[in-house]
Amino acid sequence: MAERSNDVYDVSNLIGEINNLEGTSVAPDLNDIIELIRSEDVKIITFTGAGISTSAGIPDFRSENGLYNIIKSKFDMPNPELIFDFDYFKKDPKLFYCIAKQFIEVEYLPTKTHCFLKLLHNKKLLLRNFTQNVDGLDSKVGLSNKVNIECHGHFKTGHCLSCSKKYSYEEMKAEISNHDYITCNIENCRGLVKPDIVLFGESLPKTVFENLSKISEANLIIIMGSSLRVMPFNQFINFAKKETPYLIINNEDPLGGMALYSGKKYLLQLPCDEGIKKICELLNWTSELEEIYSQFH
Ligand code: CNA
């Protein structure tokens, strides 16, 4: 079940039995990571969040220009996360659909960071990408369903909450252009239709749990564009072996200087696309990255 965590970030949820966090260094020197990516047996797991899609024009949740602040001011709502709560959605779906409309109607394009994921995938270095994003850009860039685990679902399909009738993306797009929210078109049903994204209070898709064991096979974890505030996603990283190094690419340190576990922490505190450009330069992958990017832009 996806849960809101409190605004105060409680890192103890993530660290299990690890208690000596103070000494874990944040190393600005990326050479170790570059060497590891170059090595023959590298196996990478990525964890991604809304920050990898902001450069595509999609606001995240918690940044200054993010959805939470937009909702607070637009709808005068002190608890903007309510809009993404399943019980609230069932009572009043209009506000959710005001926000969801843009995910259904606007054709967003993959960013350099999505292209980097595709590059890792092409090179068979990516074991799995666990994403919190619902924008579908990781699959649009070409990650296979096997590799790309959409932990919070997607807008590609929807279902009626009453009779379970499935709706395609095209059907939802047509409906939402004329209505405040989508209802089932079966005469005797008229139930509420919800895109197949996971709202707060709903279970995560089965495929997430089927793939968690892969995380312990990784010898490099890369976390990009997430505040790591949403449970249980933020706890999945705990499935990594405790010696596995992890690289965080984010415009702030989501851990506030703390560590996730005893593996070495590398923080590249930059916009994701900038961090990716830097890594690709060091790996001599720039032209391959640009080639993928040019397929979309
Ligand atoms: P969040 O809590 O909003 O955190 C985003 C993080 O990324 C923050 O630490 C930001 O500082 C950082 N950030 C923002 N832009 C950039 C950038 N260009 N470069 C580097 N860092 C950046 O979002 P999370 O993903 O952590 O939270 C999970 C929620 C957000 C999930 O339930 C998602 O479904 C939900 N969400 C998804 C989308 C999407 O699909 N694109 C958009 C908005 C919200």
Closest protein CA for atom 39 of ligand 1:
133
For residues 269 and 252, is the Cβ–Cβ distance under 8 A?
A: yes
Closest protein CA for atom 13 of ligand 1:
51
Ligand 1 proximity of 224 Cβ (cutoff 6 Å): no
Structure-block tokens of residue 295: 């397929």
CA 51 to centroid of ligand 1, rounded, Å = 4
CA 142 to centroid of ligand 1, rounded, Å = 21
* Per-residue pLDDT at 25: 42
Q: Summarize the confidence of residues 19-24 as an average pLDDT.
A: 37
Q: Summarize the confidence of residues 195-221 as an average pLDDT.
A: 97
* Per-residue pLDDT at 29: 73
Closest protein CA for atom 26 of ligand 1:
226
Q: How many residues does the chain have?
A: 297
Q: Say whether pLDDT at 239 is over 90.
A: yes
Query: DSSP alpha helices (H): ranges in the chain?
Result: 12-15, 31-38, 67-75, 86-91, 93-105, 112-122, 137-140, 169-176, 206-211, 233-236, 272-283, 286-294
82, 83, 108, 160, 209 from 182: Cα distances, Å: 19, 16, 22, 9, 30
Integer Cα distance of 40 and 241 in angstroms? 19
Q: At what angle do helices 286-294 and 272-283 cross, to 10 degrees?
A: 130
Stated pTM of the model: 0.91
Q: What is the pLDDT of residues 124-136, one digit of tens each?
A: 999 999 999 999 9
Q: What is the pLDDT of residues 52-108, one digit of tens each?
A: 999 999 999 999 999 999 999 988 888 999 999 999 999 999 999 999 999 999 999
Integer Cα distance of 50 and 129 in angstroms? 14
CA 5 to centroid of ligand 1, rounded, Å = 15
Between 9-23, 41-55, 113-127, 244-258, the lowest mean confidence (pLDDT) is in: 9-23
Atom number, ligand 1, closest to the C-alpha of residue 136: 40
Q: Does 275 or 1 have the greater pLDDT score?
A: 275
Ligand 1 proximity of 229 Cβ (cutoff 6 Å): yes
